Structure 1
Amino acid sequence: MKPTSASLLLAALALFLPTQVFAELQAGAVIVDVTPTKFPVLVNGSMVSRSVSTVKTKINARAIVVADDEERLAIVVVDSCMLPRPLLDEVKKLTAQRTKIPADHILISATHAHSAPSSLACLGTNADPEYVPFLRGKLVDAIAAAEANLEPAQVGWGSENAADYTALRRWILRPDRLRNDPFGNPTVRATMHAGTNWDNAVGESGPEDPELSLISFRATNGRPIALLANFSMHYFGDASLSADYFGLYCNGLQEKLGKKVDKDAPPFVAIMSHGCSGDIYRRDYTKPKDQWAFTDDINEYAQGLIKITLQAYNNINYLQDADIEMAENRLQMNYRVPNKQLLEWSQKIVKELGDRLPKTQEEIYAREQVILHERQSTEIVTQALRIGDIAIATTPNETYALTGLKLKKQSPLAKTMVIELANGGDGYIPPPEQHLLGGYNTWAARSAGLEVLAEPRIVESDLELLEKVSNQRRKFYQQSRGPAAGAILALKPAAYWRLDEFNGPRARDASGNQRDAIYEPAIAYFLEGPESKSFCKADETNRAVHFAGNRLQARINDLKDQYSISLWIWNGMPLDAREISGWMFSQGPNHGLAAYGGHLGLGGTEFPGKLVFMNGSDRKLHAGQTAVERWTWNQVTLVRDGDTVKVYLNGKPEIELKSAPGKPGPMLEQLFFGGRTDNQSNWEGRLDEIAVFNRALTPAEVKTLAQ
């Protein structure tokens, strides 16, 4: 066939057009024994100093080096509680001199085993002076050995839900059960393991992240090279010295998958990195102990995670042509230093200590105040890397599960892993609102001393790095709309707050009317809401907020005397705790109880568990007939039609008032959710899917809201 002029032109252009070139991926991995050789050795993870002279399981450093035609990077996970940035910076510098890997292309993280040698001074324990230089050399050896094992490779991603193996350990206490901090002040509103006593607590302080994610590397012939896993669960707890469940998990996987390795090839390497676990533990305090998914046997726990891992591993699809990219930021962070009065108190205690190590909580935190005062600030490292369409982000902290979810759900790449305690051990970084709830995770010390805004600064740094390595913009997170959300929108609300935010101060209006509401500070975000399958699509979790003494404020100026309020409620207070368990909705001027206001709540010792409505004029409680069970989701609708007020529970009428005062006016524009206008007996629990209508809904319409 004679070529046309058009085809000749295209052929000529092709000579000058760039050809897409795929990078050949390479990977190598190794395990290096970093068990100390000199005993006794200090062990980190306790309030007071301790040392051991026995070894239960080996302590290892597990390394992967990944390369393409242009870049090389290393990922190392060490059986350690925490690793200090200065030590890791030395390791990276020495490694860069010995290998072809730049210092800023090396990620080194700790598993957070509380039964491993101490490499970082924290609370009552110092770093072991003989172990630290030993570990430094071993880490350089590990990276160099992994680089020497580089070979053509393929990479793939796997993920499974392991919800039975992780749960919230930080629970919010009742407002009448506050505890003292180490300085004698009653600031502890949320604390670890408070859920063991249901009478003391009102609910979890945040979400969990049940994802067990995997990055798998294999040779081009299918032989497994390495598997990097990531899971958000704090240490299990084991006898020293040991690698905790992290080591058992890795050894178990190597036994199962390592059989496929050729005898002349390097051994298969399994690695478990630490996910965002600052407020996470293995015990699900929402259930009685006899309903927990597993016993206190660490081997059973590790085997359960291995079983789930294999389910994900067997479904992995691999890419051979994958390029890599890595970037890091170094941020200056201030410490929360003591004021003059606290410093003087601390200095007096430390002077009395002399050369003795602290033994009491008061002594430990007094010494920490002096150390923070001396240091004032520090430098932290954040990183992001990409391998093909897979990303990893890091924090140098004990990071809450919520923080990890923020990064995963906003990352430009759907396949994103978040590794905490990487490139440093800079303590807990609670989201800012969690500082208001207090507790061990917030007490200023090297274990939790960074500025209040450290968490959002680190999240933003990681998102910027993820954008850089992927050359894509971050995602905007918003819940999908399931049928229940669609039913609310079909009724044309004046405002609709889904309460699916990661943080405040704004609650986005989903109605399209741009009437955002404002969160007051003491709120816990992103907890599980009602009926996920109804309000969202697919496997997405519907999200809600937990009110811990503060409210959500809104102003709607066209309600007049005909309006409706729809919301889902979840009460956390025991019904015998106070007269009113909590007020969920209130209308009127702030800080008072005007005669024309209206207030909707849930009874406590009076009308236990029943809906109650109170007019500001007569202050009389009008109660429903049906008791609401604690820690369950229920739908409530209040309908005002002139002087008539009706309150519905799950679509059925509960309260009806024929002559309720409340003339329209500017003060009735102010709406409060999660508390009363005068802040008396504010809501202690969750609210979700709040909708306001500028008309009186019919009983049939109310019924659709509860379906």
Structure 2
Amino acid sequence: MNHSLLLALSLGLLVTNAAAQLPPNEITAGIGLVDITPVGEVTLAGSPSPKKTSEVKTRLYVRALVLASGGTKAVIVTLDTLKYPVDLTVKARASIEKATGIPAANVIICSSHTHSGPLWPYYPDKLVTPITEAVSKAAHDLTPCTLGMSRGRAEGGAECRRVIKDGHAWNRWQLKPDESDQYPAEGPADPDFDLLAVRSADGKYKAILYNFACHAANNRAPLISADYPGDVELHVQKALGYAVPALFLTGACGDVNPIYSVRRDLFGEKLGGEILHCLERLEPVTKPTLAIEAREFQMPGREHPEFKEAEVARNWPGQLEHYRKAYTSMKAREQPSYLYFITGIRIGPDFAIVTNANELFCSIALGIKKQSPFKHTMTVEQTNGAHGYVPTSKAFENGSYETWFGEHSYLTTQAADIIEKESMKVLNKLRSEDPGR
């Protein structure tokens, strides 16, 4: 057995023994940060017409939170990037397990979906090393902490971006500015969010974890940026007077965007301000035991994919050739099914996280939260993979680009139902196994 493995095992034993001796309201927690801000000019991801820039508005990070209790460790990683595919997730989780001894199944890796940074090929090893480094730092930073939970509501910043005009779905930006508010929204937006605060023995916050359902696409200027999650973190840090990592877990926002007509920095202020109010009314997490429920399965691909030429020509005529190429490219790479992960983490008796690997339409997550047996449930998308949009059945009927077969939409039209059912199985399993019930 090599020295590094012995060290990892001994560290794990020390954490387990320390956790077993903690008071009933404490848990051990560690934080690790790695700066991944590009140097020099890069192409910003997330647009059919990508822009290049070297100017930085807010820095990009890998943030890692490790929680340990009673011999169980959970790893939560957030990436300031558009998406992170499943094959790289598998590599990164295996690398974390090798470096720390924490099982790969206990790791969730969530992309913020910022449209103002480069994709993974920009980085020398496609972010596997920075992710592993951040988790290793967090694993070596474990100290006794207390947890608090809260729910906030940030209104006036986000909206359903799909509206129904003449029986068809249109994205608001495809209509004239004075026209986009004249038609009914296809679905809801979700202003509510859940928050978990990790507090050190000195009374300071060691980390803040929150989950909000809105595309990280508020920064419309060609700048390198973590988008509104970066603005939120700076707003919270300024108010608190010290640097606390704010880990943003992307909520179900496949059809939810920032309201572009409001002042750009207002979004960060609204959400950041509500996070500060949440910190003032935290409810303690009593008996903060941990449990993980990880599911791995094959998600079916799209039934009878076709190129919706007439629909593309109507909704987005300037991008007709772009979507024709996207269809042709995806058709060449099409598979009958795709490796898919759903992971649940229970933190204490009343708080749970459940993940999916898509841009999930908001109403699907609202259904999961409504049925959840937990008081606080984070439904987290873009996690442990990136399998494109999962619209509702109504959205498939109404059309538009989130439903068109291609790079961003290729799973079965039943994916929403599968994700909801599997998520509920995970949450109910976590609830049934709670020893504190």
- Show the counterpart of 1:452: 413
List per-residue Cα deviations over 1:561-597 (Å, max 9, x = no partner): xxxxxxxxxxxxxxxxxxxxxxxxxxxxxxxxxxxxx
Select the residue among 418, 421, 434 that pairs with 2:395.
434
CA distance in 2, matches of 1:434, 1:43: 28
- Show the counterpart of 1:243: 226
- Show the counterpart of 2:287: 321
Report the identity percentage. 28
CA distance in 2, matches of 1:277, 1:134: 25
Q: 1:53 to 1:202 in 2, by over 3 A?
A: closer
Matched, 1:203 2:196: no
Amino acid of the residue matched to residue 363 of structure 1? E
Matched, 1:253 2:236: yes
Q: 1:403 to 1:132 in 2, by over 3 A?
A: farther
Matched, 1:223 2:204: yes
User: Contact 2:303/2:413 (CA < 8 Å) preserved in 1?
Assistant: no
User: Contact 1:31/1:61 (CA < 8 Å) preserved in 2?
Assistant: yes
C-alpha deviation, 1:423, in angstroms? 1.0
Select the residue among 329, 334, 345 that pairs with 1:375.
334
C-alpha deviation, 1:84, in angstroms? 0.8
C-alpha deviation, 1:366, in angstroms? 2.4
Amino acid of the residue matched to residue 55 of structure 1? V
User: Contact 1:249/1:272 (CA < 8 Å) preserved in 2?
Assistant: no
C-alpha deviation, 1:30, in angstroms? 2.6
User: Contact 1:32/1:138 (CA < 8 Å) preserved in 2?
Assistant: yes
CA distance in 1, matches of 2:107, 2:180: 48
Q: 1:336 to 1:112 in 2, by over 3 A?
A: same
List per-residue Cα deviations over 1:503-562 (Å, max 9, x = no partner): xxxxxxxxxxxxxxxxxxxxxxxxxxxxxxxxxxxxxxxxxxxxxxxxxxxxxxxxxxxx
- Show the counterpart of 1:84: 85
C-alpha deviation, 1:329, in angstroms? 1.4
List per-residue Cα deviations over 1:648-696 (Å, max 9, x = no partner): xxxxxxxxxxxxxxxxxxxxxxxxxxxxxxxxxxxxxxxxxxxxxxxxx
Matched, 1:174 2:166: yes
C-alpha deviation, 1:134, in angstroms? 5.1
Select the residue among 156, 161, 171 that pairs with 1:192.
171
Q: 1:117 to 1:174 in 2, by over 3 A?
A: same
List per-residue Cα deviations over 1:27-85 (Å, max 9, x = no partner): 11132101134x43332101144443333321111111101022001111111111111
| Unpaired runs of at least 5, structure 2 | 1-22, 310-316
C-alpha deviation, 1:200, in angstroms? 9.0
Q: 1:23 to 1:101 in 2, by over 3 A?
A: farther
CA distance in 2, matches of 1:23, 1:70: 16
User: Contact 2:147/2:284 (CA < 8 Å) preserved in 1?
Assistant: yes
- Show the counterpart of 2:37: 35
- Show the counterpart of 1:385: 345
Select the residue among 290, 296, 302 that pairs with 2:263.
296
CA distance in 2, matches of 1:141, 1:468: 32
Amino acid of the residue matched to residue 224 of structure 1? Y
* Structure with a larger share of its residues in helix: 2
Matched, 1:272 2:248: yes
CA distance in 2, matches of 1:423, 1:195: 37
Matched, 1:364 2:322: yes
CA distance in 1, matches of 2:371, 2:278: 23
C-alpha deviation, 1:449, in angstroms? 1.5
User: Contact 2:111/2:383 (CA < 8 Å) preserved in 1?
Assistant: yes
Instruction: Give 1:601-612 correspondences, 5 Å limit.
Output: none
- Show the counterpart of 1:693: none
- Show the counterpart of 1:408: 369
- Show the counterpart of 1:214: 195
Q: 1:401 to 1:68 in 2, by over 3 A?
A: same
CA distance in 1, matches of 2:270, 2:125: 36
User: Contact 2:356/2:419 (CA < 8 Å) preserved in 1?
Assistant: yes
C-alpha deviation, 1:360, in angstroms? 6.3
Aligned residue for 1:243, secondary structure, equals coil
CA distance in 2, matches of 1:161, 1:319: 20
Aligned residue for 1:76, secondary structure, equals strand
C-alpha deviation, 1:385, in angstroms? 0.6
- Show the counterpart of 1:492: none
User: Contact 1:195/1:201 (CA < 8 Å) preserved in 2?
Assistant: no
Q: 1:140 to 1:200 in 2, by over 3 A?
A: closer
Number of residue pairs the alignment of both structures matches = 398
C-alpha deviation, 1:312, in angstroms? 1.4
- Show the counterpart of 1:144: 136
Instruction: Give 1:323-342 correspondences, 5 Å limit.
Output: 323-336=289-302
Comparing both chains, which one has the higher relative contact order based on Cα–Cα distances under 8 Å and sequence gaps of 6 or more?
Answer: 2
Aligned residue for 1:391, secondary structure, equals strand
- Show the counterpart of 2:108: 107
C-alpha deviation, 1:252, in angstroms? 2.1
Matched, 1:422 2:398: no
Q: 1:110 to 1:145 in 2, by over 3 A?
A: same
Aligned residue for 2:359, secondary structure, equals coil
Instruction: Give 1:658-669 correspondences, 5 Å limit.
Output: none
User: Contact 1:174/1:202 (CA < 8 Å) preserved in 2?
Assistant: no
Amino acid of the residue matched to residue 219 of structure 2? G
TM-score (norm 1): 0.53
CA distance in 2, matches of 1:174, 1:200: 14
Q: 1:471 to 1:234 in 2, by over 3 A?
A: same
Q: 1:360 to 1:101 in 2, by over 3 A?
A: farther
Q: 1:210 to 1:132 in 2, by over 3 A?
A: farther
TM-score (norm 2): 0.84
Aligned residue for 1:133, secondary structure, equals coil
